[in-house]
Amino acid sequence: MAGTISSDNITFIFTSTSGERTVHFTGKFSRNSMHGTAIAYDNGTYVSGPHNWTAQRQ
């Protein structure tokens, strides 16, 4: 997983262990969570998305 963050934005790419599937995440930070969209690719070819995602702060 690799990516960048700023004061309120996040971008990162998850790569499967086989290296074929990648999921590109973009989103924003809020007070207690992150939320945004994700798009899946196989070997650089679009598979699905955008999908909404949310991560809560613990």
What are the tens digits of pLDDT across the range 1-58?
A: 566 667 788 888 899 888 789 999 999 988 888 899 999 999 999 999 999 999 887 7
Half-sphere exposure of 58 (CA within 13 A, CB side): 0
Residue the block writes with tokens 């650089």: 44
End-to-end CA gap in the chain: 21
Any idea which residue has 């934005």 for tokens? 9
Q: Do the beta carbons of residue 35 and residue 12 sit within 8 Å? A: no
| Residue boundaries of the structural domains of the chain | 2-56
pLDDT of 53 reads 93
